[in-house]
Every structure is written in C-alpha cells, then in structure tokens.
Amino acid sequence: MGLLDSLLGSLSQSGAGSGSGNELLDTVLKMVNDPAHGGLPGLLQSFQDKGLGGIVDSWVSTGQNMPISPDQLSQGLGSDKLGSLAQSLGMDQGDLSSKLSELLPNVVDKLTPGGQVPQGNELGDLLASVTKRLG
C-alpha cells in the first residue's frame, strides 16, 4: 500500500472521506509543506511550543500515535489559523477541528517513516507526488 492509499484510508477512518475528503487532505498536505510557516517541522514546533510535544512526538515516532482532542488541535494550530482553514473549506470550525484531530496524526505518521521528519527536498518531493496523484 502506497502513501496516498494510506492517507486516503486515514480520511475514510476519520469520517472525512465523503465529498470534501480530498479537499481536506489537500489542505493538510499544503499545511505540512507550507514554507512560510516552516513546513512539517514548523507545524510540529507550533504544537510543541503550546505544550503538546508529547502528543506530536508520538506521531513522528514508530510507536502508536497518541490521540489529540479537537480542543488541543485548535490550541496547537491557533484559532486564527483553524478559522481561516475552516472558512476556506466552507466548514464549521468545530467540525474541522474534529476531523483534523483524526486526520493530522495519521498524515504526520505516514510522512515520518522510521520516526524521522524528512529533511529538505525529501518532504517536498514526497508531497508533490501525492498531490499530483490526487489531482
């Protein structure tokens, strides 16, 4: 099973597989590849800075992912960013945080094989191939 299949499977497990599932996945992939905000390392750092390091570290490690609540996800991303994402997707902020709390741990887990955050172009290349297959 490839990365895309794993991520799409994550969508269906989170209940985000209907209708806007690809939009939601596309948004998450853009978020973890956003150089303006540090990409995946910057996203993880944002959660760590807000006291959620143990949770996001579990997503990167090779062990089981710790769950994150919608409230913790909102705290980690920041309500402004979550509100902006919700508006761009045409979703309620609470609904989006709920879906992202299921999806984001799986996406980070799949993008960090072997318990390491990909460096440099490695992550960009990986995300470009996934995004291309989604399009």
Tens-place pLDDT, residues 106-133: 889 888 878 888 776 666 666 665 555 5
Domain extents for the chain? 3-134
Q: Per residue in 35-88, pLDDT tens?
A: 777 888 999 999 999 999 999 999 999 989 999 999 999 999 998 999 999 999
Superfamily designation of domain 3-134: YidB-like (1.10.10.690)
DSSP state of 15: T
pTM of the model: 0.79
> How far apart (Å, rounded) are the C-alpha atoms in residues 89 and 86?
5
CA pair distance 129, 92, nearest whole angstrom: 30
